[in-house]
Every structure is written in C-alpha cells, then in structure tokens.
Structure 1
C-alpha cells in the first residue's frame, strides 16, 4: 500500500514536466522527501512559482524554465535523467473547445517532443498523464481500458493521441512508456481560481467566502474523485513497473463514485455553511458519469490506493482552510 517503501538507486534523477503545477509540485515534493534528485521543467503558463519555491533550498532540486513545444529544451532537460514524469499539459475540457489549435500544439506536439527527448537520452521509464476523458461517450460503468467511446473534446483527443504515441514509442523505439488515465484528481495546491478551476477547490473557496457556487447541470453527475497521494503512488509504481506493462494506459482512480450535489452539501456541512447553490447549464463536452475499474493498474503496476474520497477530502479541506 502507498509509496513509502518504494526505493530507487541512490543517485536517481527524476524530471517532472509541469512541476510547478498542482500534480507536478506534489510529485516533486514526494520525490524530494524520499531523498532523490528532482529537475522541474515548467514555463509557468499554468504552474505557479510559489508551488516550487518551497523546494528552492533543497540541494536535490533544480528548475528549468522552458516550454515543451521546444524540442531542444526538452532534450536538454532530459540529459542525465533516469525517469520522466510528464505532467505538463493544458487541462480543461471547455477551454479546449474554445482553443483546439493551442491544445494540439501543447498537449500533442509537446508530449511528442518529450517522448523523443526521452528516447534520445535513453530514459529508463517515461510516465505520462493521460485522462479519463478518453472514454468519451462510452456509457458503461466502471470504465475499463480498451472499451472507449467517441471523443467529446479536443482535450480528450490530445490525450488519446498521446496514448497512441506512447504505444508506438514503446514498440518502435524501446522506450518504456506508461499512460496514467487520471480520474478527477484533487488535493493540496489545486488552484481554486478562474473560470476553469476544478470543482472541489472552487466549491471550498466559494463556501469559505460565503458565495453561492454554480453547479453545472443538475448536480447528479458522478465522478471517481482521486486524492493526490494516490496519483503520486501510481507515478512511482509505474517507474518500477515491469517491461511487459509498458506501451499501455492505466486507469488511476480510487474506484469510487461520488455525486456532485452530495459533495457540495458534504462540504457545506463540514464548513458549517448554509449556502444554496445555483444550477447552471451543462458544460459542453462533459461526461455524465465517471467511475473506474483499477484492476489492470493493480495487476500490472501494483497500484493499490490508500486514500478514499472521505479520507482525502478531510485532508484537502484542512489544507484549504489554512491556505485560502
């Protein structure tokens, strides 16, 4: 269970792309806490300097400000690295519908640059962030790898293309790639601000400020919310995964199912707030229900998440109360 007992060679070097973002900064922190070297690559377009300033005094930490759309920067960032944890991307389904060309550039070309740079530098393992959005309109639950529907957004398409390139780079170039299909990640340092903020931090911030949150749709959509510590475990276990597990994508979730309206009222109760939400229109490209089978990740990469939604939400709430 967890990742506390996962060990690597003493001088192992990890490159975390998008390391100044929510998921990336948590990965940097966990790896540094285990005593290994971390190199962070981020252009700070989405990530925040304050997320990585926490590590500035750690001699095992270094920062490269750079854009994954630049192949030369990617190659330089991979020099002397053992493991690449590629988190850099632009998220948000609705924003991708407004900006498809930009998403193509960053999420597809940028990821391909990182795979190519990893290949050229003989990286041991290339772990990359995929997404539950690749399931599209496939209605069956739980979501299972190999049973995908029609893609519903440019964002989802970029992640699907990343997975196809991952397969090819394993097959053609012997680069061990592992795609992690994250399901609705939440936890400390997730940004509660902006039009495209994730729902949990947004609800918490609005409730703390006595504002009325807007719920898109009827609130009866369900999600497999996944606490950040489970995501760290999956990344580190993928770095230790057997070669025969490479070239594939894996659901990374807890395997639970929470309804948005229930989460809202649970948060309101925990914060002792009586604020009635506003119900707005359903967002374009959104999937109604999301719940993952994690059997494949358990079997092939040893993923065994410790943090249920209930356990994670208490930790997240405490962090936001202290930091908002």
Structure 2
C-alpha cells in the first residue's frame, strides 16, 4: 500500500508513520508537511518520502497523491488560542486546506481518505458524554474550521462516492508533541515545567475536564482503519470516555514523577470549553478491540520521551 500522511512531520502524523513503518503491508509512505509546526527530527531514520510544502499547494498534493491507496489528512494549524489570535490563518489551513486535499484525492482517484476533526466542535453544548449526533456549538475559530473539515469530507463522500472516515480527536498527547511554543498543549506544558522544576500553570480552577487520549491509541486505530479500509457515513469520536480534570492530571503526573509539583493558577482562556468526554460507542462498533493506553501509561511514556530533550534544552 502507498499511504500519504499530511502533517506527517507533526505530532500525530509522525507517530502514525512510526507505527506504519512496522507494517509489512506498507510499500510506500509519504509525508506532506510545510514544517511550520512539524519537525524534521520527528522523521529521523524513517523510510518515509517527505514532500515539503503546504496542503494549499495543488502541485505538492499532486506529487504526493499519485498512485496512493489512502490519504490520512492530519495537516492543520492547531490550537484554540492561536485561532483566536489569527482566525484567517486557521480557516485557510484547516478548512481550505482540507478542501484542497479532497480535490486532489478526487483528481487521483484515491480510494480511501481519513481526516482529523476535533472534539472542540461540540463547544458550548453542555451534554456529556459527547455523542456524535449532538448539535455542534463551536466557540472558537479553530473549532469552526474543524467542523468545516469534517463537513467537507462527509460531503465529498456523499457527492463523489469516496470512502471517508472522519475522526474527532480528544486532547491527544504523547511523545513528539511540542512543549516550547506559545500555543503548546496542556500535557507537554505540564511535563516540561515539571521536569525543569518550574510550577505547572493552570488556566482557571483546574476542575475543567478533558478526555485525554494517548497518541499510541490514536495511531493504532488509524493504522487498523487504513489496512481494513474502514469508512463511516458520519463522524466518529476517537477517544475512550475518560473524564480527567486538570487537577487530577497534575496529581497523576506527581505520581509518575514521585514528587509534588508547584502549581500556579492563571485566568481562564477565551474559547476553552469547560468539560469534554467522548461517547465511544460508535468507535467500538467499528474497532471492537482497540489498543488503549491508560492516562498513567501515556504520561509515563511522555515523561520518558521528554526527559532528555527538555533537560538538554535547559
């Protein structure tokens, strides 16, 4: 199989490629990435062809997708705060970028497409757990752009008879996730601060909850979907129904490290939802035996990976 991963040098994309290289069914792996948020270090020593460029460039996509059996579209401009600072950039990268990928898929008759949406699309909807049929109520430009991502993918499936699988990710974390930029996600920020002896900075009271999902669980599901060419007529939550508060996350990190951590509370961030938890019924119907890592297992793996890198940086 030839598989193309957009955003292949990024956090989830690189982890997926590390998973796929061990699969004997994979004949050719191609990463498309403009390296605006991804890193070449994530692909070191991998037998992967990298096409450096943006998903907004049709020529780059044509060069990547010719002869592909599956496209996994992970290329995006992440972060709710970043989208609030620059909503047009989020729209172009995420909404228009997805449409560009889908049109390239159509030009090259790629038989299977997997796209990444986000739990942020549920937004202000208060119902928990988040079931896919709930009305989306996005409260940030990022969430709107991800709602467009999944809507475009499902519309293409309907109009052009494409096999599409649209996942909603929930707070994915793990190795290769950047910690040292203004829009870093909460887990790498907490782990990085803890490793260098700085206080963990918590926005709000810390009682807000998330369905943290270890990246190894995500990539194992996607890899299975590629091999079995899984598609679905509607979106699918890719998370397992855990509900962990930020305070509980810090406590678990303290347990992994074997020491207490200092905490600093800062004002809540605009655009953040209060609580998030996935209904995983649809996921389990499609993937009855997914490889699932606990939050603790994921934190331990993240700490192990980040330890040398964070300490070297400091």
What's the secondary structure of 1:156's corresponding residue? helix
Instruction: Tell me, yes or no, if structure 1 residue 15 matches structure 2 residue 4.
Output: yes
Distance 1:105 1:88 in 2: 12
Following superposition, the deviation at residue 123 of structure 1 comes to: 1.0
Instruction: Name which of structure 1's ranges 66-75 and 93-102 shifts more when overlaid on structure 2.
Output: 66-75
Task: Tell me the CA shift for residue 240 of structure 1.
Answer: 4.6
Counterpart for residue 65 of structure 2: 78
Deviation at 1:166, TM superposition (A): 1.1
RMSD between aligned residues: 1.6
What pairs with 1:151-300 in structure 2 (closer than 5 Å)?
151-240=138-227, 245-300=231-286
2:134 is the alignment partner of 1:150: no
Query: Alpha-carbon deviation of 1:232?
Result: 0.8
1:188-228 deviations in whole A, cap 9, x for unaligned? 11111112111111111111111112100000011110011
CA distance in 2, matches of 1:54, 1:217: 41
| Residue 301 of structure 1, CA deviation | 4.6
Q: Structure 2 unaligned runs (5+)? A: none
- 1:170/1:246 contact within 8 Å kept: no
Q: CA deviation at 1:71?
A: 1.7
Q: State whether structure 2 residue 128 is matched by structure 1 residue 141.
A: yes
* Cα shift readout 1:36-67 (whole Å, capped 9, x = no counterpart): 12101100001001111231xx3xx2110011
Alignment partners' CA distance in 1, 2:181 and 2:135:
30
Partners of 1:274 and 1:29 in 2: CA distance: 33
Please say if residues 185 and 226 of structure 1, whose CA atoms lie closer than 8 Å, have aligned partners that are also in contact.
yes
Is 1:29 aligned with 2:18?
A: yes
Q: Which moved more, 1:36-45 or 1:245-254?
A: 245-254
The equivalences for 1:306-321 within 5 A come to 306-321=292-307
Secondary structure of 2:235's aligned partner? strand
Q: CA deviation at 1:162?
A: 1.2
Query: Could you say what secondary structure the match of 1:248 adopts?
Result: coil
Partner SS state of residue 127, structure 2: coil
Cα offset, 1:76, TM superposition? 2.0
> Any idea what SS the aligned residue of 1:129 has?
strand
Alpha-carbon distance in structure 2 between the residues aligned to 1:269 and 1:301: 31
Rounded to whole Å, the distance in 2 between the matches of 1:277 and 1:142 is 29
* Cα drift, residue 124 of structure 1: 1.7
- Kindly indicate whether the alpha-carbon contact (under 8 Å) linking 2:19 and 2:223 is maintained by their aligned counterparts in 1: no
Structure 1 residue 241: deviation in Å? 5.3
Give the Å deviation of 1:150.
1.8
Partner SS state of residue 283, structure 2 = helix
* Deviation for aligned residue 1:268: 2.6
Structure 1: gaps spanning 5 or more residues = 1-11
Match of 2:51 among 58, 64, 69: 64
